[in-house]
Amino acid sequence: MEKQNSHYIYPVSKARFFIALVPPEALSEEIMVWKRYFERQFNSRAALRSPPHLTLHMPFLWPEKRESELHASFSALAQSSSDFTIHLQGFGAFPPRVIYVAVAPQPELLAFQEKVAIAARKELHLLHPTHKGHGFHPHITVAFRDLRKTDFETAWKQLETTSFKATWNISDLAVLKHDGKRWNIWQQFPLSEQM
Model-wide pTM > 0.85: yes
Domain ranges of the chain: 15-190
Q: Which residues contact 152 (CB under 8 A, 6 or more apart)?
A: 93, 95, 96, 97, 99
Question: What pLDDT is recorded for position 195?
Answer: 42
Q: Which pLDDT belongs to residue 131? A: 44
Output the CA torsion sign for 59, 35, 100, 111.
negative
- Correct CATH for 15-190 of 3.30.420.10, 3.40.50.300, 3.40.309.10, 3.90.1140.10: 3.90.1140.10
157-182 confidence digits (pLDDT tens): 999 999 999 999 999 999 999 999 99
Whether 128 and 57 have beta carbons less than 8 Å apart is answered as yes
Sign of the Cα torsion 71, 77, 81, 84 reads: negative
Q: Name the residue type at position 30.
A: E
- Which phi and psi (to 5°) does residue 97 adopt? -135, -20
Q: How many CB atoms lie within 10 A of CB 177?
A: 18
The pLDDT value recorded for residue 10 is 62
| Sites in the chain below the pLDDT cut of 70 | 1-11, 128-134, 193-195
Amino acid letter for position 13: S
